[in-house]
Chain A
Amino acid sequence: MSAAQRINRWLPLLAALALAALPAVLSPYLQELVLRIMTLAVFALSLELLVGTTGLVSLGHAAFYGIGAYATVLLSPADAPAPLLPLLAGAMGAAALYALAVGLLSLRTQGVYFIMVTLAFAQMAYFVFHDTKLGGGTDGIYLNVRPVLALGSAVLLDTDNKLQRYALGWAALVATYGVLALLQRSRFGHALAGIRENEQRMRAAGFATLAYKLAAFVIAGALAGLAGFLTATKDGFVNPEMLSWHESGAVLLVIILGGLGHLRGAVIGAVSFVLLKEALSTPALVGPLADRWQLTLGLTIIVAVALLPKGLIGLFKRGGQA
């Protein structure tokens, strides 16, 4: 094993350590930005399990993200901090439950139809929060008190504190990455990869492919719910736009931009998407074009997809294996 390969293998761990050390040197604004990146990375990783690993392209993944966020707010008491772990379980559970229902119905379809059906189910969830009083309608709702992790009377983690919120986001990202990395090495992960390559052959080999796909769909939904939980505690506010198809499109963009089929691609995609959006809307960097960031972002994406069909990670791969 060459030195480059050895570094490559330990890169995620090094990156995790670097992220843990970052708050020491970052301004509060940049720390918030990195937290936003980490949250998006969790969300993107959850979708990577579906699209990159299993080959299921969902255009409705924001539904699970939004449901996780809404569950976080709706399950929190109005005047006291909610206990963190049960609240987290509630948020991920709610998202997983909806994923189970959607998965059961939508996994019957394939290809373009699957894209559209997942979109339709996401729109259903969107309109539930958009049109009814359940979650405050179009205005959304506020999280009055942020959750805390307490043991007896000792508070271990208070998400009202910015630094501790950062720590929570960091832990969530590391845990998600770790779980998915282990999962990909497991028999279950290999079966999912087999389904992506050739589902019929997997079925012929005796795998109940529908059950595998459903399990992947539910896990991805739960992890998207985790990302929603992080966003809700970070912003202290949720609104229906979190479930909109723009959001689903954006997270799909993140993983394709980063490079499909690699966990680190999803993280690279999240980093570059947030930084790109931030850079293109900062007047100090792009001058008067900052107000027109949609135009520049749109054109950048078109050029990036056209030039890098394998995503950003393709750039590193070529260099790394030479």
Chain B
Amino acid sequence: MDLPTFAVQCLNAVQYGLLLFLVASGLTLIFGIMGVINLAHGSFYMLGAYLAFTLAPAFGQNFILMLVVGTLLAALFGYLLEWAFFSYLYQRDHLQQVLMTWALILVFEELRSMLVGNDVHGVQAPDWLSGSIQLGSLMSYPVYRLFASAACIVIGLALWAVVNRTRLGMMIRAGASNRDMVRGLGIHITALYRIVFAGGVALAALAGMIAAPMSSVYPGMGGHVLIICFVVVVIGGIGSISGALIAALLVGFVDTFGKVFFAELSGIGVYLLMAVVLVWRPQGLKGAA
């Protein structure tokens, strides 16, 4: 493998890893703070992709504005969904949560089919992001992928700032490390849950919107992302955002280079990685023992 190819693959790995991080960070927070195993989280990624498909023609070149509007819509949707459905799950055991969110996937998929049909769609990147950059004499790299990585980094930094530098972030961190204690300290847990859930939905949908111009928009696209993100969350340690970041990048590299070197068995790579990590550290890389 020559250097330009290697560089391109590294860029792909980072870009994929960062995108996974956006989805997984919401999943790990909902998991860690609210104790809900949300199998329907992949549906929010799908929601984002279809939002991009629906909104893109209306916004034209204002791609960033579209991302902002879509994220707000997704957050609102998450807020309402927590109020109407997920708030009833907290008292139930994990098994029932698994079932009810599994059933929710069926509902979302069918609603998607009723609203936008079952066709595979593409989303056009705006003109100002559609070119590509020359790398060496033979390779080129699409500008949009660089934009996707940059956007993920900006969002990741914003997330870091919120979690580590604000009062809300303090409550989130406290909630992730000891849920019952936070409740005992008189923090308004209902509001905290609702905000965290809306944030998680917004992050997943944002990832879906960013991914839409790179991959096509198709039925069932949430399922694959969901499972990979569970792998990320488990490798990183439940409830840990920094763990999710490390794990997401690891998964990105293993998946990308697995496809290069072992095309046939590339699907297995990330699960093998997870098995190795769990045998070595059953609580995940950054999980509390």
Contacts and interface: CB of A to CB of B under 8 A. Distances in A.
A100 B110 CA distance: 38
Contacts of A105: 275, 278-279
Looking at A121, A123, A252, A253, the one whose CB has the most chain B CB atoms below 10 A away is A123
A115 B279 contact: no
A113 B267 contact: no
A222 interface: no
A249 B227 CA distance: 12
Contact of B271 (A59, A113, A123, A292): A123
Given A109-B282, A124-B272, A115 B94 contact: yes
B271 A109 contact: no
Nearest to A292: B110
A149 interface: no
B234 A116 contact: yes
Given A117-B274, A298-B110, A253 B227 contact: no
Interface string B262-283: 0011111001101100110011
A27 interface: no
Interface in B239-282: 264-268, 271-272, 274-275, 278-279, 282
A121 B274 CA distance: 9
Given A57-B95, A109-B282, A249-B98, A294 B234 contact: no
A120 B231 contact: yes
B111 interface: yes
Contacts, number: 127
Contacts of A128: 265, 268
B230 interface: yes
A216 to B, nearest CB: 18
B263 to A, nearest CB: 8
A130 B110 contact: no
Contacts of B37: 112, 115
A309 B92 contact: yes
Interface string B81-107: 000000010001011101110111111
A157 B203 CA distance: 57
A301 B103 contact: yes
Contacts of B110: 292, 294-295, 298
B264 A295 contact: no
B272 A113 contact: no
B95 A132 contact: no
A61 to B, nearest CB: 13
B39 interface: yes
A302 B86 CA distance: 11
Interface string A64-94: 0000000000000000000000000000000
Nearest to A297: B106
Nearest to B105: A298
B177 to A, nearest CB: 16
Nearest to B93: A309
A123 B230 CA distance: 12
A59 B234 CA distance: 14
B238 interface: yes
Interface string A105-146: 110110111011101110110111011110000000000000
Given A117-B234, A249-B39, A292-B110, 15 more contacts: A106-B278, A109-B278, A116-B234, A124-B268, A124-B272, A131-B268, A245-B223, A292-B113, A294-B109, A295-B106, A295-B110, A301-B100, A301-B103, A301-B106, A309-B96
22 contacts: A57-B98, A105-B275, A105-B278, A105-B279, A117-B234, A119-B230, A120-B234, A123-B271, A124-B268, A124-B272, A127-B267, A131-B265, A131-B266, A132-B264, A249-B39, A260-B95, A292-B113, A295-B107, A297-B103, A302-B103, A305-B96, A306-B100
Interface of B: 31, 37, 39, 88, 92, 94-96, 98-100, 102-107, 109-111, 113-114, 223, 227, 230-231, 233-234, 238, 264-268, 271-272, 274-275, 278-279, 282-284
Closest 10 CB pairs of A and B: A127-B267, A298-B106, A295-B110, A301-B103, A298-B107, A294-B110, A124-B271, A298-B103, A294-B106, A116-B234
